[in-house]
Structure 1
Amino acid sequence: MEPLEPADPLTLGPYRLVARLGAGGMGRVYLARSGGGRTVAIKVVRAELAGDTAFRRRFAREAATARRVGGRCTAPVVDADPDAATPWLATEYVLGPPLDEAVARFGPLPEQSLRALGVGLAEALTDIHAAGLVHRDLKPSNVLMAVDGPKVIDFGIARALDEERLTSTGLVIGSPGFMSPEQASGAEVTPASDVFALGSVLVFAATGVLPFGDGPSAVQLYNVVHEPPELTGVPESLLPVIRACLTKDPAKRPQPASLAGEGGLAALLGESGGWLPGPLASSIASHAASIMDMDAPDAPDHFPQPVAATVREGGAGGAGGAAGAGSAGGAGTSGPGASGAGTTQVGGGPSGPGRPSRRKLLAAAIGGGAVVAGGAAWGITALVGGSGSPSTGPTRAPGQAPDADWRTTVPPASSAGRPVVSGGTVLLPVDPTAAPSSGAAVVAVDAASHRTLWKKPGSAISGQPVVGGGKTVLLRDGAQLRGYDARGGQQRLDDRPGAPWQVLAADATAAYLVVRAAGGAWSLTAVDLSTRRPRWTKPLPAGGAPGTGAAAALDGGSLVYASGTGYLTCRATADGGEAWHASGKLTSPAPMPVIADGTVYVRDGSNDPDSGTARLLRFPLRGPGTPTPLATAGDGDGGVSAPAATGGAVFVVAGRSLVAYDTASHQQKWSVDLVYGIDGQATVLAGSGTVYVAETGSLGIQAFDASSSKQLWTFRSGDASTASQNWTATLSGGRLYAVLGTALYRIPAK
């Protein structure tokens, strides 16, 4: 949650705006109050969409259909004005964080909470389907964790079942990690598709990882259609119900009403009235107090200074929260640890008959800390007894970094790579020369418990691990291409594509390599992961050799290869056909391309902070291979980092600044000076509305709001011995997996 800015409206319809909650795909989301004290979340349509007549008609229709949905476990639409100069939609404001952020901060839910979540989601889907709708995008960020039960939000892409145009085959709407097989295939979407998504959401809530992997969208969609889910870590008593939800045949999935059981969530909660783990309920109670006292500010006056975090060795992190963007349906993160699309009738001032008192609201929030201890059966699984005393956790001050969930000791990481996360496994390339006693060249660590799952020895293993098909870890071992199961470490592939060579990237079905034949000529090769045979091989020109290193990026059916010798080419993954190439327009080292919104972004030139000139270039993905410079850092200015992209923007450290560019207009959105003068050696990561800059141990990992450039926090290890060493990090599933020296950290990303 952030203060209003001067450009923000003060009122919308009968509502007075109080604060910014975040932004979604359709526009910005505000916290607002009516004259009677009702607190709502208002979604305001972006200006460019407001001028689209067809969009206005669609927006009006969606608002009308969404208002038909009622029930205990949905956050209803309470008002809308599709004809306003800037169309808006108001939903109840729910005091509770989205499920994804709750899991990121507090870890997977206990079994009793999972049961309540399952019943609540089933009850919500029953109400949604009864209104003639299919949600189509049920996912953790669209589930708010309120004290009286989960609330499903964002009917912005739900569609009426009787609209033939929107239920016809070929239309794919939703989020890849939570789509049903028929949705991923572009087939007709029915209420059974929401049941599949329910099963996926429950797996995530139980384990903290996606059931079909968290790689590129194409990999996730392939796994959803063809592969079984990864259910390791799901409580055994819940497996039958979740497996039934995740069956590939929609006709065999259970009905939501049968999952909700007789009496629904009310019967499950029984007399306890609580279902949330203690630390989560405590954070909501704290946030409730701040909401009660909140009023609309005249103007923003200051921003808090960042506060360094502390680290708990091998233990769980605190219950702190941070501000972040909500979904397009009206959810917003509001620290500490609460967000959403509305609790009704919350306001400052005296309590009246229609508005609960502060005492009652806080009592309700704190009461939610009790774990569910009784109630009805869920589906075919009996509710197992047991309760626990709610525990409290510290809340974070504004600007304070999150505590690490855990810290564990690992062998020194290879300078050639950074952590790779897939299916709940963290893969670390190890420097065998720096840690000969470790007996490993790659180590696999469980993302939840930080225990070592497996490791592979050998000084011949080199380069960055690459995950193909969401489950197979591909490694270069001397002249061999080896593949290992990401979770168990069993060998899946053993091939000899040529020597020397490098694994560049992989998708759901193939691995892409750069290979040198016996005669010395280099080529790009695609190896089928099922048949283990080359799918295609395309020769590279003399200037296309990897040189000091090569990198690649995948987007749909395109592979972009960048060599360390200044060669860039875009190829079709199906047959290797070349769409375009740019030769002699780049320099070493390996430029590490990023693809976002139909554009290739690539670093060009040295990233040495004291010599040479470096640039960030962009190329249209579909060609031609003509570059346009965006950012430049001259001699001594600090170099240019590899780029990162999220939410319609690309980010890069150029010289002494972190710069954001809009991926549609390619215009600069903002630039912020970096306090410590981070140079081109920095790692830039982006996701979920936040940008992260990681450099040395002393400088730490800095987090910035991707929309406003506001610095949110700085995480430091506190280990003076690693002050001059560089962080390497990866962002996955709402967490940062970061390595500094011989320590691996899991850090909440918010």
Structure 2
Amino acid sequence: MPSPLTHDDPQEIGPYRPVARLGSGGMGTVYLARTAGGRTVALKTMHARIASDPACRTRFRLETDAARVVGERYGAGVVDADARAETPWLATEYVLGPPLDDAVALCGPLPERTVRALGAALCGALGQLHASDVVHRDLKPSNVLVTAYGPKVIDFGIARAAGDEHLTRVGAAVGTPAFMSPEQAGGQEHSAAGDVFALAGLLVFAATGHPPFGHGQAADLLYRVQYTDPDLTGVPEGLVPVLVPCLDKNPFRRPTTDWLAARLHDGAGEFADHLPDALLADIARRATEVWQVAPQRLPAPADVPGTAPTAAPARWTRRRLLLTGAGATAALTAAGAGAWAVTREAGGPKPQPAPGPSNSLLPRKQLDSIWQIQVRPDDLFADVMPQGQLHVVDNMVVTVATELTGVVAQTGHRQWSMSLMDSDWEVASDGRRLLGLGPSDDRRAGKAGGDPLLLASVNLLTGELADPTVSLNEFNGELVADQMVCTANGVAYVAAGRGKYVDTTFSAAQTWYLFAYDMDAGKLLWTKPLPARRPGSVRLYFLSGSVVGRHLVALQEADDGTVHAVVRDTRDGTVRWDRPLDGVKAGRVQQPLTADDHRLYVGAGRLRALRLGDGGVAWDTGTTRPGRTYGLPALKDGTLYAVEKGLGLVAFDPVSGRVKWEEKGGQGARADLNAAPVIGTEYAYSKRGSQLWAVGLSSGAPAHSYKTTGDRFIAHENAKAVIAQGGGFLAAFPLR
């Protein structure tokens, strides 16, 4: 089971962060670790004291190669590896199941049906290795993990060999004495037949609870393996004639794995059907508990001066406090996919692991959720904080309120959290990566009126900045109206200014631009001037923005308060068309846009579709359904959905605007127009009061509901969850 990290365990290994220790041996340490997207892996590293030994590095590389050969069907799938790193490491799938020795300790000797299914599956694993001229050399119960889908073979003998300070050569015994073959015990060549011998011994252990040659000192075991008969007491009668030929002292008389597999099992049924209930329950427990492991690090001993090195803090400075009116109210504003908080002092904070529920500020709500965690309440900023401050990035959800928090979507585990009252984090995501925007600490390079503007990737594992990072001295990163409009395909689309900072959002002394920067290529693609804004304007240039093909689609508020749909060419920033949207209020459309390859769909009043090519109206409910009011739309699988005031959900054909169906039952009259519906495969989810209702896509009728404090919702397809934020909580509900 996992144990806490020690004081000198590394904070990061490659792109992975250790969470707990799984074990340590002569060659290295194995950690439970997590990726930036929240995936849990087993991370094996080599001890620094032997990393300089070429032979040890070669063994490590061979182990990695062998793990790749056996593949994820029969082994722990290799996720990533770097055998050339200063500290070589190997990241594999974290297998959700106990080692075979733990399974036997829990259940006692396994039933014959289990042993047969286990043995046949292990024959498949060894057969795959042997076909590639690879032998395991250290097959034993602790190196076989039992999952509900079959056993997986791990640890290809390398760590044990290095730990015993032996090399694989004639005359040196390498492996574990209790499960060695006779030729291996005598220091002779260990071939595929030796793995067959070890497998038979392992199956004796699974069926009886004891090794075939007993226990004792290594020398005694090595003698018995070479010269005495195995102890088959307790082996089921039907297995004895199958295993005895495999335990022959002469490797040339042993059968192949194909012969053994055919006599063990016919392959019928699922592997889980052959496992005892107690073992299945243990597998389920482990699958649940691994997500609950929180990072813990033991303190350094009193005589050790200092602890493990920590990662460098994020290179962010803080912005000035944006004051509205007479300057008495602190405001947080944002637009589109970006979000920003505004203060400025010297220095910058380091994101910290978020506190658990026991540190919560509010009483835990009784919600019908898969999980719920508390985030800092954002009620103080409800009037000016835009909706849509939930970002789906890989397997994570990044939420923006008065804190920026990274959460594993499937489990609710908080990877990190940082207060936005102390630091400016404006972020945008394209679903694969998270980009951040703020002022750079490189004051000497600033020539646009203040510190340069900083663009950087955000490490989803830590919340800190990561490469690629770029400092742009032609823009003033201190201006509070600098804005990350959106990002797509590695390109950041940013509104930024030049000129001195003033205690308002905009000033006549400032000039403003929209630019596109390719983060991967490290290249500024284009820069276009933006029209002047009225000094003192609170909202930013862009209410929302998104990239659709070669179109940068945005909603913007003009100085007269009208909202415009504006489409630019992503290749050069040229405005293709600009269309005012009558009847749309700016404060209601600060959420992600809804568009497909051909049309932009706008709600928050009439529901209409605008052609991306020329801005023309494709259809408008002001004509087809006059007098009706709609909330923000959602699009999925060729159908457009929106909440109609007084009716509930309505499904439209996005091409023609024709109604496909209307919600039945009358309960949709209470549906919230401010929250866009979330669409699954069976249900559409719509907020009604303090409940999230699931409406059947085939029936058009409400099916069930969940209690929620949320007022903004987003689908996380990978986690099969509706993520809800609001009322000081973040929660997940089933997405079906």
Give yes or no for TM over 0.5.
Answer: no
Under a length normalisation based on structure 1, what TM-score does the superposition of the two structures give? 0.43
Higher relative contact order (CA 8 A, sep 6+): 1
State the structure with more CA Rg: 2
Under a length normalisation based on structure 2, what TM-score does the superposition of the two structures give? 0.44
